[in-house]
Amino acid sequence: MGMSVIISAAGTQDAEQILKLQYLSFQSEAELYGNYRIDPLVQTLDSLRAEIATDLVFVARLGEEVVGTVRGSADQGGIGLIGRLCVHPRLQGHGLGARLLSAAESGLADQRSATRFQLHTGHLSESNLRLYRRAGYAPVGNATGQDGVRMILLEKEASAAAYVTSA
C-alpha cells in the first residue's frame, strides 16, 4: 500500500529539507538558463527560516520526506505573492504542483485577505507556464530578475476558478 502526499504548513524544523529540495528542484531551471546563480540556488538557510517565520510556507510530505513546497506573502494592496513552487523531480507531472499552488492561494485568501494572486517564472520555463495557465493565471508583464533571468509576470483574481486535480 502506497503512502499519500499530505500538504501542510511548514515549520522551522522543515527549513533544511525545504532548502535541499529547492536546490535539487531548481537545477533544471539553472541548466535551462545557463545560470547557476539563480535566486533559489543561492538562498541561505537563515533567510529561509525568516520566510517560514513571516510568510505562508506549505510543504508536501510523503511520509517524513518533504517532496514539494511553495511560499506566499501578501503586499499592502491585497495581492498574494506566490513563489518558489517546487516538486521533487521524481514526483513531477502528477498534479502535486497544482495542489501546492492551490494551497498557497487558499492560505493567502483566507489568512492574508488576498484578492488577487501574482507569481512569476522564467520565460523559457514552458512546463511552469502550462501549470499556471491551467490554474487560471494570465501574463501581465515581463521583468528581469536580480539574477539576470527574464521573467514573465502572471496574475489572476482570487475569485477566479482554477481547475481541480485529484492527484
Give 113-142 pLDDT, tens digit per residue.
Answer: 999 999 999 999 999 999 999 999 999 999
Per the confidence metrics, is the pTM higher than 0.85?
yes
Poorest-pLDDT segment among 25-39, 69-83, 120-134, 151-165: 151-165
Higher pLDDT pick, 4 / 165: 4
Longest Cα pair distance anywhere in the chain, in angstroms? 46
DSSP-assigned letters across all residues of 122-167:
ETT-HHHHHHHHHTT-EEEEEEE-TTS-EEEEEEEETT--------
pLDDT band at 146 (very low <50, low <70, confident <90, very high): confident
Beta carbons of 56 and 114 less than 8 angstroms apart: no
Would you say the C-alpha torsion 128, 129, 130, 131 has a positive or negative sign?
positive
Q: Is residue 161's pLDDT more than 70?
A: no
Average pLDDT over residues 24-31: 96
Q: Is residue 55's pLDDT more than 50?
A: yes
Q: Is residue 162's pLDDT more than 90?
A: no
